[in-house]
Structure formats: structure tokens, C-alpha cells
Amino acid sequence: MPHWLQLMLESLPTLLWAALIFTVPLTLLSFAFGLVLGLVVALVRLFGPKPLVAVVRFYVWIFRGTPLLVQLFLIFYGLPSIGILLDAFPAALIGFTLNIGAYSSEIIRAVIGSVPKGQWEAAYSIGMTWAQAMRRTILPQAGRVAVPPLSNT
């Protein structure tokens, strides 16, 4: 066996383990934070005041309209030019979270909008507040519809 192949096969498990240690937490954290951000952005877009709606629409427009790699480069290499220094993990976490938040906000906004108006009226008719209606009636129904597109994020 050639020396280079033996060296590669011996070092591969170490390299893969190091990549796994970095990638799995990054994936889980960015998806969790991105979903929370997406829910907040979707609720603001649906029910928020007009100036705040304009701000979050701009955020979604920017992050859905630019490639993820460009966003990651701007965060990792661009922020140090204004004095914000980040290591690789926090920079990647911020970039992935903002990107996932923008995409998932559109999905969440669409599935909340797909819940029939009668469900809202039924929740209000039995005395639920807006928050109770969202938590007990609307979001559970929207969540079932949102799982397939969110798993593609």
C-alpha cells in the first residue's frame, strides 16, 4: 500500500471525529435557534405593527435573496472590519441561524395563514385569549402542516 494512502487511512478517523464534534452541535443549535427566530419573525409579519413588519420583511428579503456562502463570508470576514471578531463556530452559528430563521419564517407564516378562519373564531367563541388560541388551537394545527417543509430547511 502506498505511504500516502496509509497515512490518509490512519488520519481519517481523527479528522472525521473532529468534523463531527463541530458539525452536529452547529446543526442542532442553528436549527433550534433558527426555528425560534422564524416563529418570532412570522408572528411579527402576521400580527405586528407596520414599522416592525417592514424591518422583518427586509431581513427576510435579504437573507432569502443572498447565497448562504456569501452570508457566512460576510459574517466571518466582514464583521472584523468593523471591529467584531468571531471564532468559526459562533460566526457559523449566527450565519446559519439567520438564514434558517428567514426561510422558516416564511414557512411558519404560510402554515399559520392556512389554518381556517373558523378555527380562530371557534377559539375566541369559547373565551380563549389570542395567546391561548395560538398555543392551544392554531399552532398545533399549523405545526403538523409545517413539519415536511421545515425538514427541508
How many Å apart are CA 41 and CA 109, to the nearest integer?
A: 8
- What are the structural domains of the chain? 31-150 (1.10.3720.10)
Phi, psi of 48 (to 5 degrees): -85, 170
pLDDT tops 80 at residue 148: yes
Write the pLDDT tens digit of every residue in 52-111: 999 999 999 999 999 999 999 999 999 999 999 999 999 999 999 999 999 999 999 999
10 pLDDT band (50/70/90 cuts)? Answer: confident
Write the pLDDT tens digit of every residue in 23-41: 999 999 999 999 999 999 9
